[in-house]
Chain A
Amino acid sequence: MDSTVAEQQRILASDWGGGKSPFGTSWSKFMMWIFIISDALTFAAFLITYGFMRGISPEWPKQTEVFNMVLITFMTFMLISSSAVMAMAVAAARASNPKLAVRFLALTIVGGLIFLGCQAFEWTHFIEEGATLTHNPWGVPQFAASFFVITGFHGFHVFSGVTILAIVALRAAMGKYSADGVENAGLYWHFVDVVWVFVFAFFYLL
């Protein structure tokens, strides 16, 4: 009898056992992962559509000549750095050091805001040069359309991320502090960074 119970417990505790917490995480973290996975599919669809449109276009403008690559590289640097600082914020929160966590969170938010500022500058410049969703001076209309849709959707994610991080930082500063909350916000922020890695490589460099 005892051995059957022990056997059942062993199965439930295994990775595929489907016990109380089959994925070994809190429900909130697991839900964040599910959200990230579905959101990744959205971006995958955008990038694949972009690949398809580029494939059927007779020519595609040379991005390194159209865009200010120094600015784009700086934006990439800001996002990667803020991601690293965010990871440190999670570590500080896990180590029960809310003051340090808030400081790291503030730095992450600053990084996100700088990124958004650069993007606003880039968009303004692009629009002033005559780019719209249906027309642009460099080539096929799909070039500017995919630029606006992909970077716009990503930029909106960065904006949401900054908002979420501001709420988390504010709550941590008020003492309403949960390491899980910081970690979940961090997962989302790293995901935004991951998406930018794809956009940087396939939209700006390829």
Chain B
Amino acid sequence: MAEHHDQHSITYKTYLMTWLWLLVLTGLALGLGYANIDERLKAFLLVCTTLAKILVIAAVFMHLRYERINLILITFAPLILAVILFSFTFPETLGSATHLIRVR
């Protein structure tokens, strides 16, 4: 029981540290939003900070790191499907799809 209790007091501290890291990552993303850099590099770096944030939230706050591997893997399904959907639709914007939009 004492061991169990210790585990929980460590957990509170872990949550606090996780919160601080999330704030640091948010600050980083905010800095990127204002940074005067190449749009593609900015998009890539924002994807990186976002992925880092969601992985931290899922692993620590949602306890995913303590779950079985099969549960962890199915939670990645939306992300993989989203990447597929994005890679099929976004190239269309480079072609002649601009007639779909009405400018004011």
Q: Determine the distance from Cα of A90 to Cα of B11 in the docked complex, in whole angstroms.
A: 11
Contact residues in A for B37 (Cβ distance below 8 Å): none
B:51-97 near A, CB below 8 Å:
53-54, 57-58, 60-63, 67-71, 74-75, 77-79, 81-82, 85-86, 89-90, 92-94, 97
B:6-40 near A, CB below 8 Å:
8, 11-12, 15-16, 18-19, 22-23, 26, 29-30, 32-34
Query: B67 near A51 (CB under 8 angstroms)?
Result: no
Contact residues in A for B97 (Cβ distance below 8 Å): 56
| Residue from A15, A30, A84, A201 in contact with B49 in the complex, judged by beta carbons closer than 8 Å | A201
Contact residues in B for A198 (Cβ distance below 8 Å): 50, 54
Query: A187 near B62 (CB under 8 angstroms)?
Result: yes
Contact residues in B for A16 (Cβ distance below 8 Å): 70
Contact residues in B for A64 (Cβ distance below 8 Å): 33-34
Query: B23 near A80 (CB under 8 angstroms)?
Result: yes
- Say yes or no: A41-B82 contact (C-beta < 8 A), given A33-B74, A91-B15: yes
- Say yes or no: A77-B23 contact (C-beta < 8 A), given A37-B75, A141-B104: yes
Q: Determine the distance from Cα of A144 to Cα of B104 in the docked complex, in whole angstroms.
A: 12
Q: Determine the distance from Cα of A52 to Cα of B93 in the docked complex, in whole angstroms.
A: 7
Contact residues in B for A94 (Cβ distance below 8 Å): 8
Q: How many residues of B contact A (CB 8 A)?
A: 57
Is A164 part of the contact surface with B, judged by Cβ < 8 Å? no
Q: Determine the distance from Cα of A76 to Cα of B26 in the docked complex, in whole angstroms.
A: 8
- Nearest CB of chain B from residue A183's CB, rounded to whole Å: 8
Q: Which of A1-9, A20-28, A123-131, A166-174 lies on the face that meets chain B?
A: A20-28
Q: Which of A112-120, A152-160, A189-197 lies on the face that meets chain B?
A: A189-197
Query: B57 near A194 (CB under 8 angstroms)?
Result: yes
- Nearest CB of chain A from residue B63's CB, rounded to whole Å: 8
- Nearest CB of chain A from residue B34's CB, rounded to whole Å: 6
- Nearest CB of chain A from residue B12's CB, rounded to whole Å: 6
Query: A91 near B12 (CB under 8 angstroms)?
Result: yes
Q: Determine the distance from Cα of A201 to Cα of B22 in the docked complex, in whole angstroms.
A: 13
Query: B85 near A190 (CB under 8 angstroms)?
Result: no
Query: A48 near B86 (CB under 8 angstroms)?
Result: yes
- Say yes or no: A201-B62 contact (C-beta < 8 A), given A16-B70, A23-B71, A206-B46: no
Is A57 part of the contact surface with B, judged by Cβ < 8 Å? yes
Binding site for A on B (CB under 8 A): 4-5, 8, 11-12, 15-16, 18-19, 22-23, 26, 29-30, 32-34, 42-43, 46-47, 49-50, 53-54, 57-58, 60-63, 67-71, 74-75, 77-79, 81-82, 85-86, 89-90, 92-94, 97-98, 100-104
What are some 19 contacts across the A-B interface (CB < 8 A)?
A: A16-B70, A24-B68, A25-B67, A33-B74, A40-B79, A41-B81, A47-B82, A52-B92, A56-B100, A80-B23, A81-B19, A84-B22, A142-B101, A187-B62, A190-B57, A197-B54, A201-B47, A202-B46, A205-B33
